[in-house]
Structure 1
């Protein structure tokens, strides 16, 4: 009788824990939905949700309102417009932009515009502006402070700048910033593995197998992939690479409607985790 009773109690506790997890997950998704409709989001950016799927993507990467998040190379702030409202009350957001001393005119301009954006609304007051470059020892956030590091459509840039070495520097820096058990979330234009023998390196597309290989070299464990951001219409074979497609539409004399019909690029969505045991 005592054994039966004990097993019943254990089963009940397990069921109770499961039932508690469901409301928490639903609450987090509701808050993601609310953040995606926050007033700071521009209509132009909202129009791209159909391709970038921010709510499902952030949920897949375990981002919650209580997370400490590092956004790598936030650009003009497309995801910042969602992450800042989401994390404003209980979380932290590090925006690792171009370094303040960058010699790139584009980088200087992009960082200055981002600083102006952060000053435009009180919702951004907690955003901590840091720096990123695919170099050794760059601190995108204090070591061991982040629950999640996010990078969206950046891998091809690092590869074009410095090959696998630059990418490994970047992944090592993310590993250092993350807490044990933390998540690295990667979204990138996906090169079909069947096209590895083509001249793909400056196309803007990147092979998933190489992304996984370099992340694992940095110490990450590849946990899962998702087709949230997949686009089967995209062949990854266009005259001007990924920039042929929306939103860039570098189509030359071609009919832009052809590429608008394809939509934005096919994207891999990869989830890596920093092991608990160090």
Structure 2
């Protein structure tokens, strides 16, 4: 049953099955397809693949085998597991969680299933990695840096620290929920959304260049007025994906 669920989800994401064998779309690298097809992935993760589009997300971000990745706020490890599979034994994921938050990822690490992943719980907004990174990854959480109840964060300083943590030519990948124009801090906290234009303005101010925008999670039916956890819109919000690059 798990295998059938997985193949159905992948087919709906733009992949085909031939004789029960997964055939990835040409735009999705084979190592990304293999990471999604891993039967060790929790069924609950596979169930939300249709709405989160992990194949397109990972391919757009440019994650490759052997890379060193810094992931902020992994939660239950939905992307962490796939990033771990993509980068392989020669790569590493350094995950940083808000010290006030917890998720299922701790259990997976304790069981020794993610040997190329390290997890630290640090004060919110802390940027601290033991080696230069190829990619910094933050999905659906950049807006949380603006919510004071989670911790006071200077996002300008945060972005500068991310810049310093990356190798020249490294990638800063941000995916988040679109917000109405001129959404203030109170609106961000209420909606759990942030304007794409605000993210671009803040990140480029830290020295990054915007390299590409992914539109694979854009949903015109979302008018941006509902909180992302509202049942009417949950898992179907209008989202943007931004790939920034640290100049060489």
| 1:88 aligned residue | 88
C-alpha distance in structure 2 between counterparts of 1:32 and 1:187, whole Å: 18
- 1:242 matches 2:216: no
Q: Comparing both structures, which one devotes a greater share of its residues to helix?
A: 1
- Tell me which structure has the larger Cα radius of gyration: 1
Conservation of the 8 A alpha-carbon contact between 1:134 and 1:167: no
Q: Would the aligned equivalents of 2:136 and 2:171 in 1 still touch at CA under 8 Å?
A: yes
Using the TM superposition, give the Cα deviation of residue 164 of structure 1 relative to its aligned residue in structure 2, in angstroms.
10
Q: Please name the residue that 2:17 is paired with.
A: none
Aligned residues: 222
Give SS of 1:228's match: coil
Q: Contact 1:28/1:64 (CA < 8 Å) preserved in 2?
A: no
What is the root-mean-square deviation in Å for CA atoms of aligned residues?
2.7
The 5-angstrom pairing of residues 1-278 of structure 1 reads 29-98=29-98, 102=99, 104=100, 107=101, 110=102, 113-122=104-113, 124-135=114-125, 138-143=126-131, 145-161=132-148, 166-193=154-181, 196=183, 200-202=187-189, 203-238=191-226, 241-244=227-230, 249=231, 259=232, 263-276=235-248
CA distance in 1: counterparts of 2:186 and 2:239, whole angstroms: 19
Structure 2: which 5+ runs fail to align? Answer: 1-25
Gaps of 5+ in 1: 1-25, 250-258
Q: Is the 8 A contact 1:70 1:150 kept in 2?
A: yes
Q: CA deviation at 1:69?
A: 1.0
User: How has the CA–CA distance of structure 1 residues 264 and 140 changed in structure 2, closer, same or farther, with 3 Å as cutoff?
Assistant: farther
Checking the alignment, whether the CA contact within 8 Å between 2:75 and 2:105 is kept in structure 1 is yes
- Write the deviation string for residues 80-110 of structure 1: whole angstroms up to 9, x where unpaired: 1211122232321111123xxx4x3xx2xx1
Residues 94 and 31 of structure 1: is their aligned pair in 2 closer, same or farther, counting only changes over 3 Å?
A: same
CA drift of 1:264 comes to 2.0
The structural deviation recorded for 1:171 is: 1.4
> If each structure's strand is expressed as a fraction of its own residues, which one has the higher value?
2
Task: Give the Cα–Cα distance (whole angstroms) in 1 for the partners of residues 122 and 174 of structure 2.
Answer: 16
CA distance in 1, matches of 2:185, 2:154: 22
Inter-partner Cα distance in structure 2 for 1:198 and 1:118: 35
Report the alpha carbon displacement of residue 199 of structure 1 after superposing the two structures with TM. Answer: 6.2
The answer to whether the 8 A contact 1:131-1:140 is kept is no
